[in-house]
Structures are given as C-alpha cells and as structure tokens.
Amino acid sequence: MKFVHIADMHFDSPFVNLSDKDILGNLRRLEQRKVFKRVIEYIKENKIEYLFISGDLYEHKYIKQSTIEYINNLFKEISDTKIFISPGNHDPYLKNSYYNKFNWNENVTIFHSRIEKIEEENVNIYGYGFDDFYCTNCGIEEFEIEDESKLNLLIIHGTLDGASLEEKQYNSMTRRLLQEKKFDYIALGHIHKPDYATHIVYPGSAISLGFDELGEHGMIVGEIEKEQLKVEFIPLDDEQFKEIEMDITEFLSKEELIEKINQLEIAKNEYIKIILTGSRNFEINKYELLKYIENQRIIKIKDHTKIAYDLEKMANENTLKGLFAKEMLEKLEQTEELEEKEIIEKAIEIGLEALE
C-alpha cells in the first residue's frame, strides 16, 4: 500500500513572533495553502491510497470556516484516497471544534480520545486524537495489536521520550514502548523536524513556522508491505529560513551597520534573521533599522550585542558620569533576570550618551 504522511500544518497560524514586519504572516498563510495543494496534487498524480495527518492540521483558536472549507474541498479532489486525521494539541477534538461540527467529506476519518481501529482488507489502522489542549495518557501502554498477520499502522500526535514536565503534557510516549507494540508503521506528529530513520516517523512540519524551524520541510511518502517499508522525504516549502550573525564591534555608527546589511547577498527564496553580536558603539533600535534595509527578505533583527563602555573603569571617575556608572553597575549586579539586565544595559547606553 502507498501512503502520504504529513503533520503540523497549523493552518491559520497568526505567525505573531515570526517577523518584525506585519505582512509576512499573511504571506505564510498563503504559502500554507500552496504547500497543502502540492500534497493533494502529488496524491492525485501518484494514485496514493492513504493520507495520514498526525495532528495540528489547524489552529483551533484562529481557524476560519473558509479555511476548513478550502481544506475539505481539496479532500474532495482525492475522493479515492482514504484520509485519517489524529487531532493534536493545537486542533483537539472539542465539542465546538470543526472536527466535530463540520460536515467533512466521506473519505475523511477523524480519530477521537481513545485508540480506535479501522479495519481495511489487508491493514488495520489505529488512531488516537487529543480531546483537549493537553494529554498525559492516551492508553498506549495497555494497548495490544489484535492481528499481527495484517499490516498494523498507528496515527498519533505526541512527544517521544519526553523528559520535562511540559513535554509530558503532550502525550509523551517512549520509543521503546512503541517498538514493543509491533506496529509496522507509526505516523507521528508534534515535532516539527523530520525523523524517519525507522518505522516510527515524524514528517516534521509541512511548512516552516519560523526561525526555530530551519532546514527543509515537507512530507513523507511511503510504500509498505509486511516486513518491508520504504519511505522518502519530499520537500514542499520553497522558502528557507536562515540566520546570519553579524559582529558589529568595529562599526562606529548606525549608518555603517545599515550599509553592511544592505551589502549582504540573499537568495530569493530565503527569509533572513540578522543576529547582531559583539560590542556596540551606538544605540540600536531594530525597528528603526528595518526602515532603511533595502532587501525585503530581511524580516527580523535580533540584538545580542553588549555595550562597549568599560563601566568599572568609568565608575571610579569622580564625575557625574562616574556616579551614574557606579549606580547602574550595582543594579546590574543585583539583577539575575536576563530580560531585566537587557533593560538596564539599554538605560546605561542612553544615559551615558545623554551625559556626553
């Protein structure tokens, strides 16, 4: 049997932390649609029998009915393909969710909050869906396969080997436990990076949601028989997120920094985050900088620089500037929170410039 396995589309995600430019969220939502349509076109062209969607198809809080209708209309285009969806922590099967209240096409099966079995001619397909935004026990430990002579597949959303308290809230399962259950293929979702070295597979997010998801994003295409599995990762997202570090220690002015940024060579399919490092000799306002950057592919600036002043030396001066430096040094030493330290450092920079 041939199948396509995707997860973590996150339709209608607001992309609030993606960019310092407002327009990018709208662009990425359009790109979500384009990528999903590519999945459907691939299924049609290659006569794929099954589509597995392992959770977080959409964002429950933000999803629009028009987007649900768009997705379902595409499902109608592959009416001969059987579609199985396991709701995740971003799209749980709630009473008011579209999984529950929308009239999905007849080729769509949506799993609920217990492990269910769908019997096909040569395969049993099991699935589990979140019924809340958190899940600490899906019941997989007590589960046993009924017929090992058939192909047995599991579609589920969750974390493998989650160690932290947060990870354990998202249906944490151990790889060892899943291996013991003797499934022929386990279609996972939740982790946005592809992992397909074994039959326990994360396809990763089909489209990158930001700079914490660098690298390729796409879908898993598989062909499976008893004791034989072939999988291939196919990239879908044309856009690439890339980080560029820039040490500004030797830069003497904001104008020089802008010139250097504008000289960067950037590919047409790259979204760029500039990470400023080193010691700064001038005040940096990242939002002000973006106004003067010519390449619209630079969408975010992160300031990791430190002020270039020698505060300890300055604090020994018997001047107004020295008194200011001494007081601010004491504040820095008394503060442990990183965010508060950054605010104090910015205040030092502004204060010292005012005292020049």
pLDDT of 217 reads 96
Residue pair 219/235 in contact by the 8 Å Cβ criterion: no
Q: How many residues does the chain have?
A: 356
Per-residue model confidence as pLDDT tens digits over 42-82 = 999 999 999 999 999 999 999 999 999 999 999 999 999 99
SS3 for 110? strand
Domains of the chain with bracketed CATH: 2-235 (3.60.21.10), 240-354 (no CATH)
Q: How confident is the model at residue 3 (pLDDT cuts 50, 70, 90)?
A: very high
pLDDT of 254 reads 92
Q: Quick one: what percent of the chain has pLDDT higher than 90?
A: 69
Per-residue model confidence as pLDDT tens digits over 173-208 = 999 999 999 999 999 999 999 999 999 999 999 999
As a whole number of angstroms, the distance between CA 27 and CA 43 comes to 25
Q: Average pLDDT, stretch 334-350?
A: 81
Q: How confident is the model at residue 356 (pLDDT cuts 50, 70, 90)?
A: low
Q: How confident is the model at residue 24 (pLDDT cuts 50, 70, 90)?
A: confident
Residue type, 253: S
Regarding predicted confidence, which is higher, 336 or 174? 174
As a whole number of angstroms, the distance between CA 274 and CA 71 comes to 35
pLDDT of 26 reads 86
Per-residue model confidence as pLDDT tens digits over 254-302 = 999 999 999 999 999 999 999 999 988 888 888 889 889 999 899 899 9
Q: Average pLDDT, stretch 148-171?
A: 91
Per-residue model confidence as pLDDT tens digits over 100-147 = 999 999 999 999 989 999 999 899 999 999 999 999 989 999 999 999
Give the chain's mean pLDDT.
Answer: 92
Is 335's pLDDT higher than 90? Answer: no
pLDDT of 260 reads 96
Q: Which two tokens stand for residue 282?
A: 């001038």
In terms of C-beta distances under 8 Å and separation of at least 24 residues, what long-range contacts does 105-110 make, across chains too?
A: 105/72, 105/75, 105/76, 105/79, 106/79, 107/75, 107/78, 107/79, 107/80, 107/81, 107/82, 107/83, 108/72, 108/75, 108/83, 109/82, 109/83, 109/84, 109/85, 110/85
Q: Which two tokens stand for residue 15?
A: 């992309």
pLDDT of 22 reads 66
Residue pair 6/219 in contact by the 8 Å Cβ criterion: yes
Q: For the chain, percent helix, then strand, then coil, each to nearest 5?
A: 30, 25, 45
Is 310's pLDDT higher than 80? Answer: no
As a whole number of angstroms, the distance between CA 69 and CA 330 comes to 59
pLDDT of 258 reads 96
pLDDT of 295 reads 92
Is 23's pLDDT higher than 80? Answer: no
Q: Quick one: what percent of the chain has pLDDT higher than 70?
A: 99
Check: pTM over 0.95? Answer yes or no: no
40 closest CA partner among 51, 55, 54, 27: 51
Helical segments of the chain, H only: 23-46, 65-77, 98-101, 165-168, 175-180, 254-262, 286-291, 311-315, 320-334, 338-354
Residue pair 309/348 in contact by the 8 Å Cβ criterion: yes
Is 231's pLDDT higher than 90? Answer: yes
